[in-house]
Structure 1
């Protein structure tokens, strides 16, 4: 905390933060229940942003969102956070929503968010991009598999390098699985 901020805070009697007493804990300033409630909203926004990022949807693109949750008042009150941080255009909160064909579903512990796929991506363009990424991942897996199956490499390489290559292979396989799942989700 800087001196300037310290001076603007209410209840600061000392002239400088450098000579001030360590602050006492004030129970009135603890908002545990509110923080727990807001964490539900934060987790939904994070999950939406992760999905948008995986689909390469620009943050500025506004999309329709329908939120199914038992916390309807909380999510309705936090509409502006979804608009600013998750890119919501039209925003609806309900206790029961039906997942329709062509909807991306984002699931968290306290909500399900439905977003029409047509608003997020150009399906053909995205499939072409994912196919290109899939081929690159398959090429990486093939290269790393050959390297790790080469007895000469295994005999001469340091153990740390072999572990690094195995980690790269596992990461490439995980990436391929995600890409394949994304392709299936778009079809």
Structure 2
């Protein structure tokens, strides 16, 4: 309470103390729904680009050009500084249509972001890393399938353990599909 009072007395206002002032009331004039919606579009692009960069193991220090294709180009032009800073973009170029071959695409409700692949990763190193990861996942899947197909294991193990092994197998299959998708994107 003492810190709040100190801050309150430093602000320009009419009352002397926060203790004797009335509780603030909602002011419709201070609500900006259009600005909120616009910023939500910008945040969505930033989140999706960061997820994509994480999936591709691109370090945040690696700056890239981003081409944002949208009917809301003016919104993304205004938010370009936020996108540059928070999505590690070197330059943000907005427009209604871009034709860039060999680009990674990130799609949101309001935009399509294109990032040239050559700027993101060394494709040979990334392909080698993904192939190594794919081999490891395939080994895990083989082990889990072998365990679940083993009559002795399924008859003696508690149902909870068997269910956990099935979940692990499902997750490994999903991971394998994601890796294969990433490999096909690199080609």
Give the TM-score of the pair, scaled to structure 2.
Answer: 0.88
How many angstroms does 1:132 deviate by? 0.4
Structure 2 match to 1:56: 57
Change (3 A) 1:68 1:6: farther
**Structure 1 stretches (4+) deviating beyond 6 angstroms?**
19-22
- What is the alpha-carbon distance in structure 2 between the residues aligned to residue 184 and residue 106 of structure 1? 16
Q: How does 1:69-148 map to 2 (within 5 A)?
A: 69-98=70-99, 100-148=100-148
- What is the alpha-carbon distance in structure 2 between the residues aligned to residue 111 and residue 144 of structure 1? 40
Give the stretch that moved more between structures: 3-12 or 70-79.
3-12
Consecutive unaligned residues of structure 1, counting only runs of 5 or more, are: none
Change (3 A) 1:14 1:185: same
Consecutive unaligned residues of structure 2, counting only runs of 5 or more, are: none
How many angstroms does 1:5 deviate by? 5.4
**After superposition, what is the alpha-carbon deviation per residue over 1:68-91, rounded to whole angstroms, capped at 9, x for unaligned?**
011111100001111111111122
After superposition, the CA RMSD in angstroms is 2.2
Structure 2 match to 1:39: 40
Give the stretch that moved more between structures: 121-130 or 88-97.
88-97
1:97 aligned counterpart, secondary structure? coil
1:64 aligned counterpart, secondary structure? strand
- What is the alpha-carbon distance in structure 1 between the residues aligned to residue 32 and residue 43 of structure 2? 16
- What is the alpha-carbon distance in structure 1 between the residues aligned to residue 50 and residue 72 of structure 2? 20
Structure 2 match to 1:14: 18
Instruction: Check whether the contact 2:5–2:18 (CA below 8 A) recurs between aligned residues.
Output: no
> How many aligned residue pairs are there?
182
Give the TM-score of the pair, scaled to structure 1.
Answer: 0.88
- What is the alpha-carbon distance in structure 2 between the residues aligned to residue 41 and residue 54 of structure 1? 20
Give the stretch that moved more between structures: 151-160 or 129-138.
151-160
